[in-house]
Amino acid sequence: MVILPKATGGSSINGGELLFLALATCACNDVYREAGKRNMSIESVSVDVNGQFGKEGEPGKNIVYRMTIIAPQHSQAEIQDLIAYVNHVAEIHNTLRGGVDVRLM
């Protein structure tokens, strides 16, 4: 992955956007992993992540995400069960929920 610089310095994408991308990517990957275990055929997955960042140094807040799964061969109940399970096991999500310690070495 290459992140291009801004003409004024810094990156063309910010850390909050990359954090949200990590959440979306984790959820998407986990959908396909868990669907495979359930022999579910997934046509597509869409993940939207939103949240807020305040002043410099403040942590993000109000982070929410939505998943849309297209799986025509499966019932809405099966799809919703898959979404709920992925929400429970998604590693990046659980890392943030656990309030991981980040230290400078």
Tokens of 67: 């998943």
Q: Is 24-97 a CATH 3.30.300.20 domain? A: yes
* pTM of the entire predicted model: 0.89
Residue spans per domain, the chain? 24-97
- Alpha-carbon distance of 15 to 26, in angstroms, equals 16
If you count them, how many residues does the chain have?
Answer: 105
Q: What is the pLDDT along the chain (105 residues), one digit of tens a residue?
A: 788 888 898 888 889 999 999 999 999 999 999 999 999 999 999 999 999 998 998 999 999 999 999 999 999 999 999 999 999 999 999 999 999 999 999
Question: Burial of 27 by CB count in 10 Å (0-12 exposed, 13-18 middle, 19+ buried)?
Answer: buried
Distance CA 50, CA 33 (A): 24
Are the C-beta atoms of 41 and 71 separated by less than 8 Å?
yes
